[in-house]
Structure 1
């Protein structure tokens, strides 16, 4: 069985309640197990939970006949992923033990007592979250051992301002101040011959797509969207060598993008938000701020924009108006939105958590996680919280109410301008004219198979 050497051993967790839908043999076995745990014994008989094992028939002497409390203690030393994908499918009894939330909640709380998830989420999948958190910790607590690190500088001649992972992190788009738009195939990288594979990775490398710095990237389906200081938003076909599909002229540089199949929202340097329907090309611009809009995120209900005027505007998509404006002490550089949470990274190097449940957008807490420069990128998922900064570092944090540091990456020689995380892979853009990529070895090996 697989073991998790990176995660500390934990105490036994609460026993999940078995369901009545067991076969007769399993019912008999489970009754014996429960009796072995709960039966009152005399001093002469002893109080060891193994007392009744002698009463079991030889055919019953297998791992599943151990008392449930012992089984749970053993399972705590195994990877959550192995339990979910393999062990839980061995027999009805094992499936039942892990079918509820009790075991997974206890397992997580033993390993990290901080509040998780940071904000309550209805119908939260505890087993998936446990698998994700343990996998992220395994990878990022020792990235030098668990990841293949790629430092990409091919055809980059100026500061890289944006990176964007797509297609389950098999493709990476980059935009820089030399006006180059690069599209990389990460599956082509070979650590045994990195120089040759750099050329194989490069699918597209051109400075003919925009006439200004490429500052923002987003995607949906097979479409890549780019925003530039030339005031254009352009749409590119990933299946046709980035052939141009459409373009939209705005009145200022585009500093942030959110893209959906039927809707694009862009943050403008001229204080406006541009909202465009890419199907018809129609759009409108809205002014919610008094200074440049630096970042924008959205879901099906809200659009959140952050500006240099030290405000965040919450736009209600259904009502078609701003329904709340949040004043901040320092302005937002980047935002991450989802799971009833809004994470904001600011100019002073702080990160802030807001509870967005039922549209409340109330501040929960602010944190100093050790950055000494602006927080230029922030991205949350159930396994980890990623941040990057002008202090040249990237931090991987616990995704909890009090996010402790799992590890700090300091590969860049200059400011880190942006990061992107998808499907286990992390990419970052730097002013040192490079793109850094961390590819877990398990994923890398699947590409080389």
Structure 2
């Protein structure tokens, strides 16, 4: 009985296959598909949950032909919009040639971002912008920070910290964290050692170096490159430390002022001096020079291979041309800069009044785009841009995670500090902040935290 039923069922399947073959796509349709693919992508990516008129195309397909190879591209795009961009890139793009072709098209990723976040992105045009990586990063950062209490391992670190923390600096893909404070302690922490199951014991294991003998003054600025950490202090020294030798001293340079900001790269250091000077040093031979572009203390400095940008209490930003060896442009501001972030043809500035300002640096223009009130009620002490989010810290005791767009919306406000937030550092998904409450706060996404276990 069972055997005869199985045979009959098999015959029915074979009959169905022989009588209902999928229609072969004609040559004209094949030719038009490539010409119309961008339009299909635009029409297929709608708001979450929206229906699409293109679903009527399903009625034209026989039931036996509903396969991945016969479904119209717009229907596939509508289905896949409910998946994370990271899943599409890392998994679906490797399933078949058709998926790989669909998801290699820039139009899909542009449309996907603009439908969810309609404000201008990137904030400033960038040639050869990687839309795939940007979409993955934006969705990931929004997912993480929208529910940070659920998606992050949060560390409140205060071991061997006895005074206000003025600076933090993440290195090595966010695995190492350096901190500097007014008790003159320079701390180096291994964040991979933290364990949520036993936070007290793991915090002790995290400490690689904790010393108050590295500087004789408040440690105010940190920077790094490769395996070298650099620190600037109120003792007027810039010092270099070996990350692979428990912060053994490599070199030191005496300045004539406290160093409030620091930029470091192989064979070149720039320190922002309280005495209005910028100190430019070649650590290979200790040679250097000091440049005076301001009439008040220099609070912050950023640089790339072309320019050095410094912000001062005199309400100016000086753009120094490294190749020409002179000031290229001076920007007058309504309030002085306390934090700068530079890259991707953008210069972001946070000021004393709690405002955030965007400048377009394309082709060295450094033209102001717009100013924004992002909700801070105190000074913006630090700002850092990434393709996935914009981070700001403030004396109002908060850190804001913002959308990386023009006129950025707030994703979340972090209020773990009970005192002013002096500095922040963001790298590879991990965020660290320094506070006057003598603590360092760290947020590590659970996906990264679990990879450390």
Cα pair distance change 1:413/1:26, threshold 3 Å: farther
Matched pairs, number: 413
Report the Cα offset of residue 30 of structure 1.
8.0
For 1:12, the equivalent position in structure 2 comes to: none
State whether residues 162 and 176 of structure 1, in contact with CA within 8 Å, keep that contact through their aligned partners in structure 2: yes
Choose the corresponding residue for 1:149, options 147, 151, 154.
Answer: 154
Cα pair distance change 1:106/1:237, threshold 3 Å: same
In the TM superposition, 1:256-275 aligns within 5 A as 256-275=261-280
For 2:111, the equivalent position in structure 1 comes to: 106
Report the Cα offset of residue 218 of structure 1.
0.2
In the TM superposition, 1:114-125 aligns within 5 A as 114-125=119-130
In the TM superposition, 1:382-421 aligns within 5 A as 382-421=387-426
Matched, 1:53 2:58: no
SS in 1 for 2:61: helix
For 1:96, the equivalent position in structure 2 comes to: 101
Choose the corresponding residue for 2:68, options 38, 41, 63.
Answer: 63
For 1:21, the equivalent position in structure 2 comes to: none
For 1:296, the equivalent position in structure 2 comes to: 301
Report the Cα offset of residue 32 of structure 1.
11
Residue by residue, what CA displacement relative to the aligned partner does 1:379-433 show, whole Å, maximum 9, x if unpaired?
A: 0010000000000000000000110000000000000000000000000000000
For 1:327, the equivalent position in structure 2 comes to: 332
For 1:250, the equivalent position in structure 2 comes to: 255
In the TM superposition, 1:20-419 aligns within 5 A as 31=30, 48-54=56-62, 58=64, 61-419=66-424
Cα pair distance change 1:27/1:306, threshold 3 Å: farther
Residue by residue, what CA displacement relative to the aligned partner does 1:248-305 show, whole Å, maximum 9, x if unpaired?
A: 0000000000000111000000000000011111100000000000000000100000
Matched, 1:442 2:450: no
Residue by residue, what CA displacement relative to the aligned partner does 1:212-237 show, whole Å, maximum 9, x if unpaired?
A: 00000000000000000000000000
Report the Cα offset of residue 69 of structure 1.
1.1
CA RMSD of aligned residues (A): 2.0
State whether residues 427 and 436 of structure 1, in contact with CA within 8 Å, keep that contact through their aligned partners in structure 2: yes
Whole-Å Cα distance in 1 between the matches of residues 246 and 128 of structure 2? 41
State whether residues 33 and 68 of structure 1, in contact with CA within 8 Å, keep that contact through their aligned partners in structure 2: no
Whole-Å Cα distance in 2 between the matches of residues 200 and 281 of structure 1? 36
Q: Which 5+ residue runs of structure 2 have no aligned equivalent?
A: 1-23, 40-54
Q: TM-score, normalised by structure 1?
A: 0.89
Whole-Å Cα distance in 1 between the matches of residues 72 and 263 of structure 2? 53
Question: Which structure has the greater CA radius of gyration?
Answer: 2
Matched, 1:430 2:435: yes
Task: Answer 1 or 2: which has greater helix percent.
Answer: 2
Report the Cα offset of residue 48 of structure 1.
3.2
Whole-Å Cα distance in 2 between the matches of residues 48 and 85 of structure 1? 30
Whole-Å Cα distance in 1 between the matches of residues 278 and 212 of structure 2? 26
Report the Cα offset of residue 89 of structure 1.
1.2
State whether residues 33 and 67 of structure 1, in contact with CA within 8 Å, keep that contact through their aligned partners in structure 2: no
Residue by residue, what CA displacement relative to the aligned partner does 1:26-48 show, whole Å, maximum 9, x if unpaired?
A: 9989849959x99xxxxxxxx93
